[in-house]
Amino acid sequence: MILDEVNAVGERLHRFPGGLRLRHHKQVACQQPVERPPLPAVLVVPMRQQAGPEATPVVSVGDPVLKGQLIGGDPSGLGARVHAPSSGRVTAVEQRRIGHPTGQTGTCVVIKTDGLDEWPPTEPVPDWREACAVDLQAQIQAAGVVGLGGAVFPTDRKLDGGRAAGIHTVIINGAECEPWIACDEMLMREHPRRVVTGTLVLMRAAGAEHGVIAIEDQMGAVGAALERAAVELGDDRVRVVRIPTIYPEGGERQLIQTLTGLEVPAGGLPQDLGILCQNVATADAARAAVIDGQPLLERNVTVTGNGVARPRVLRALLGTPVGELVTAAGGYTPGAARLVIGGPMMGYALHDDSEPVVKATNCVLVLDQAEIRPTQPEMPCIRCGECARVCPARLMPQDLQFFIRSGQLDSATDIGLEACIECGCCDAVCPSHIPLAEWFRHGKAESRHQARERAFADRARERHQAREARLEQAKAEKAARMARRKLKLVSDDERKRQVARAIERAKAAREKQAGAPPSTPRDGEPDE
């Protein structure tokens, strides 16, 4: 029954619980075609731009680099490789801010560009339609492709796990639910053929038979452009589905529920339903890796908000300082008041505009004072239940907040803290102005910190117990050796006495044969 429903992905649409209808401002950034900003003089490339461990720098200060050259390796296989976004020379390998909500620092490779933007020879897959899935996955891994919808999970690992689980449908997520972000819409509008081709590449790499590109029903001509591209490519396995614009319709779990009517099991993955979900830009990056042999070096970034003079979508190199993107979009307006990475619902305020664009950067939002919701004093929860009504994950935000606030993190985890997608719907409707999403982010971070501490303590205890066991074993072995040595000494003394008695007997025998009176045995010796 479940499999039949999943096989009909997108044929009938369903509702997910909760959600909000938001006023969209995407058209503000869609008035101009996508452009490339000027090549930055300096690129700051963080080694951590994805889920998983930080990449290991494989270049040193003074090294020349070409565009697309590997500068960060992934020896663990759990992260993603990092490549030089342009040609130039490495001027530093040092700790800098890495464009993270916490403002944390990480290892960055700083490249002074030479203006040539010179590529080395690329190595695309010769015939991707005939290549095996493992080879396509290896090419995508070598290109450092990660999910560009925000989660930045390494795409090759997702493909590997999905293929093992038996994927039948690849869903390409083109539903940008944040009200200001339009980078994926512009990609689909200007390059529909690339998006459809990327979908086919991912389908082959995942071993899937069906492909669905899901877009918002407000995206106008985008759907027709994608459908026309699918016809031109002569592959009817890819369908375009328009879904209702109800925030957060672009969440992975909410999108799957909209298209199938099924919920991804708690603690499970879409692959448990035979589905692989990838972002539109990820599909394009996979296409570039396989067909063009190009690693992930750039992405569309929406630069928008009333604090920007000419809002638009820019094709930015990774490592470009955010301030240079704003300059390329006409600079700040006099009323610019807040700089946000991401959208107003799930984004985070940036410390300053010198931080670099990373693989997860989909939007630079500059708000003016009129767009910033005035800060209201936080009031006690009145248990109105509005937060639960709009929660797309069926959680009880007021209870979660109570448990986190009182330090009962285990209880918060028991009622689904990790299932929260931090969409901010509860924040938007709370009449008491409680920053619920912030509490949930704090609770998750603290819960993970405590889990790491417990794991560290467990490992320390295991090491102590193992050491004690080794000491006991060494003590027992030492005692055994001493016992064997003592026994050996006793045996040696006895053997010496036996030899001495044999010598005496032989001597007595010789004297008897010679006629001499036998010698008198010594005291304590047998008289033979």
Binding site feature residues for [4Fe-4S] cluster: 381, 384, 387, 391, 420, 423, 426, 430
Place of tokens 């490549």: 83
Does residue 385 come out as left (phi exceeding 0), alpha (psi in the -120 to 50 range) or beta? left
| 397 CB burial (10 A radius; 0-12, 13-18, 19+) | buried
Residues 6+ apart with CB under 8 A from 464: none
Going along 182-258, which residue ranges are E strands?
Answer: 210-216, 238-243
Alpha carbons within 13 A on the beta-carbon side of 230: 21
Paired residues of 173 in beta bridges: 214, 279
Residue reference for tokens 């980078």: 183
Say if CB 24 and CB 245 are below 8 A apart.
Answer: yes
Measured CA distances, 110 to 46, 93, 142 (Å):
9, 6, 21
Strand-pair category, 275-279 with 169-174: parallel
Using the structure block, give the residue that is written with the tokens 């390059």: 191
Provide φ and ψ at 63, rounded to 5°: -70, 135
Element housing 259 (H / E): helix 252-260
Instruction: Give the annotated binding-site residues.
Output: 381, 384, 387, 391, 420, 423, 426, 430
Hey, what are 263's tokens? 């919920």
Structure tokens at 412: 């918060």
Q: Show Cβ contacts of residue 93 under 8 Å, excluding neighbours closer than 6 positions.
A: 57, 59, 60, 61, 107, 108, 109, 110
Nearest to 105 by CA among 147, 58, 47: 47
Tell me the sheet residues that pair with 319.
none
List the structure tokens of 44.
């700051």
φ/ψ of 508, rounded to 5, equals -65, -40
Cβ contact 421:150 at 8 Å? no
* Alpha-carbon torsion (182, 282, 108, 294), positive or negative: negative
C-alpha distances out from residue 169 to 1, 208, 253, 270, 322, Å? 16, 5, 15, 10, 36
Number of DSSP helices (H) and strands (E) in the chain, helices first:
14, 16
